[in-house]
Amino acid sequence: MKEKKSKIEVQGFEITITSKDNDDYISLTDMTVKFGGDDLIYSWMRNRNTLEFLGIWEQIHNPNFKGGEFETFKKEAGLNSFHLTPKKWVEATNAIGIYSKSGRYGGGTYAHKDLAFEFGSWLSPEFKLYLIKEFQRLKENENDSLNLEWNLQRTISKINYHIHTDAIKENLIPVEITKQQTSFVYANEADLLNVALFGITAKEWRENNSTQKGNIRDFATLEQLVVLSNLESINALLIQQGLSQGERLIQLNKVAITQMKSLVRSKEIKKLKE
C-alpha cells in the first residue's frame, strides 16, 4: 500500500506522520527536535522498561517477531555497555513497530503511534498530551474528508438513478447528430464522445473559442460531466459488441439526449450547485 504523509504541529514543532496498511507511524526524529536531537531515541531504547514495552507490543502485533533475540536484549539491558539502535532492533528481532529510512526529506526514525506516544511520555508528559491532541485532530479532519467524499458519491448515485425518469428538454440537451457526423471518421474515441454529447470535436471547439484557456471538457457543466462519464462506460461495451464508429455514435448520442433530459430536472444536481 502506498505511504501517505501528513504533518501536525506540537508546541511549535512540525511532526511528520506516515500512514500505511491502515497504521499510523509518527516520526520520533521530529519529536526529538524540541528536546535536543535524535540521540534521545537511543537513550530511550537502552532503558529496560522501554525494551520490555517494545517487546510486548511486538508479541501482540507481530507473529514473525523473534522472541529469542528479544530475551537476549533484555538480559543485556541496564549494562553500561548496552547500546541499541532502531536498525539493530529491527534486524535482530524482525520488529515492525519501529523503522528507519534515509533521505533528506522525510528521513529518520518512525514508530507506530502506540510506541510514539510512549516515547512522548518519556520525553515530557506535557508534550505527549499535546501530541495526542493534535494527532486526534488530524484523524478527525481525515474522517470528515472521507465522509464528504462518501456523501458526494452517494449523491452522484442518486443522480444516475434519475437518468431513468422522464424530464423535459432544455438548452443543455444535445441535438441529434447529422448523417454527415455519423459518416465522419474520428481520430480518437474522446472526440466520438465529444460529438455525441457536445455536437463538436475538441478541435472544432478550440477553433471557435480561441481566446479561452483549456478544452471543451473544462467548460462542461456538472450535468454534462456526469453524462460523459456514463458514455465512456457505454462506449466500451459497444466496442466489445463490435459496433462500428458510426453505429456507436448514433447510440451514444441517443443516450446523451435521454440522460441530459433527466438531469436538467434533477434535484440532486441542483443541491450540488448550491
Report pLDDT digits (tens) over 109-155.
999 999 999 999 999 999 999 999 999 888 887 776 666 556 666 56
Residue 38 · residue 29 · CB < 8 Å = yes
What is the total count of domains within the chain?
A: 2
pLDDT of 65 > 90? The answer is yes
**Domain, as residue range, for 87:** 4-145
Last residue within a domain, chosen from 86, 120, 145: 145
C-alpha grid cell, residue 215: 478544452
Taking every pair of Cα atoms in the chain, the longest distance, rounded to a whole number of angstroms, is 90
Q: For the segment 7-18, what is each residue's pLDDT rounded down to a tens digit?
A: 999 999 999 999
In a domain, 97, yes or no: yes
Look at residue 87 in the predicted model and tell me its pLDDT. Answer: 92
C-alpha grid cell, residue 99: 523503522
In a domain, 191, yes or no: yes
pTM of the model: 0.52
In a domain, 118, yes or no: yes
Look at residue 2 in the predicted model and tell me its pLDDT. Answer: 64
Across the range 102-114, mean pLDDT stands at: 83
Q: Which residues contact 156 (CB under 8 A, 6 or more apart)?
A: 226
Q: Do 92 and 135 fall into the same domain?
A: yes
Q: Do 110 and 191 fall into the same domain?
A: no
pLDDT of 270 > 60? The answer is no
- Give backbone dihedrals phi and psi of 213, rounded to 5 degrees, phi first: -95, 135
Q: Do 34 and 137 fall into the same domain?
A: yes
In a domain, 155, yes or no: no
Q: Do 220 and 135 fall into the same domain?
A: no
